[in-house]
Amino acid sequence: MRTTITIGPDLQIGGDDFVVMAGPCAVESGELLFAAADAVQRAGARVLRGGAFKPRTSPRSFQGLGTEGLDLLTAASRRTGLPVVTEVMDPRDVDLVAEHAAVLQVGSRNMQNFPLLREVGRQPKPVLLKRAAAATIDELLLAADYVLQEGNENVILCERGVRGFDPSTRYLLDLAAVPVLRERSPLPVIVDPSHGTGVARYVPSMARAALVAGADGLLVEVHAAPEQARCDGQQALTPTGFADLMAELRQLAPPIGRRLALAIDSTGAAKSPDSYDDEVIAP
């Protein structure tokens, strides 16, 4: 039996539906966040992503807007009806982030931050756990066990690429991890093709491949104006690029026995498939 996890009031991941989570790498301003949120919601994403606390390699890079970013995410969630996934980096921020987020992301750099894993395990919201760039699949599953052991069984595993030797892509996206994880664990598995490739034009192929490989969903970076992004702009899809990808995924899913979770309108109600097709597939 596979684990089905409920996100927000009624979205299920780990069941029949393929769930797409999308939004900017970082929350940068209300204007940019709302533009991205509106676009991903219209295109059929079911969860809004966006980092308020950003783990940056350099301490001199933009670190995120922090609590202001969390408030903006809550506003974007109210506006679109989409639940939010956002990263928590510090065990002391878990309660604060959980007040604003439907899903708590533990990023790749913190996959083995054991105090953080324990802390997110002591609260009930689902946890999106990203594989570290040099972690084996077993290490990812053992990291998930830290969360499960504290009583939170709602862990979503995320493959986001491991460190390879070839600079043609930012990381080496390990799509074979999808069937391996599904064999070894009942937890839902999603794929992040944005960090996995680091290049926006490679993202759609890997997103389609993730669906076909059996993933339960995607985490995709989308920015209203990628060239202006303060973080990861080179790997962000534009709103149009994302809408095109969603249209492709919607066609690809049924022949392989999958279905894209229906889009919702801004009141949080699922749209009928008819209105959905009109709005999303028409150019």
Binding site for ligand PEP (CB under 6 A): 25, 51, 55, 107-109, 130, 160, 195
Residue 193 binds which of ligand PEP, Mn ion, none (CB < 5-8 A, kind-dependent): none
Residue 160 binds which of Mn ion, ligand PEP, none (CB < 5-8 A, kind-dependent): ligand PEP
Beta carbon of residue 231, minimum distance to Mn ion (angstroms, whole number):
6
Residue labelled with tokens 């504290």: 150
* Nearer Cβ to ligand PEP (51/126): 51
- Cβ pair 139, 112 in contact under 8 A: yes
How many Å is the Cα radius of gyration of the chain? 17
Specify which residues 84 forms β-bridges with: 48
Residue 223 binds which of Mn ion, ligand PEP, none (CB < 5-8 A, kind-dependent): none
Label residue 166 exposed, middle or buried (CB < 10 Å: 0-12, 13-18, 19+).
exposed
Contact stretch for Mn ion (CB under 5 A) within 24-32, 97-105, 146-154, 255-263? 24-32
Beta carbon of residue 25, minimum distance to Mn ion (angstroms, whole number):
3
Closest-CA residue to 184 (of 146, 137, 147): 137
- Residue, CB closest to ligand PEP: 107
Tokens representing residue 218 in the block: 């995607």
Per DSSP bridges, beta strands 189-191 and 11-13 are unpaired
How many angstroms separate the CA atoms of 105 and 88, rounded?
6
128 contributes a contact to Mn ion by CB under 5 A: no
Beta carbon of residue 15, minimum distance to Mn ion (angstroms, whole number):
27
The correct pick among 7, 25, 40, 263 for binding Mn ion (CB under 5 A) is 25
Footprint of Mn ion on this chain (CB under 5 A)? Answer: 25, 232
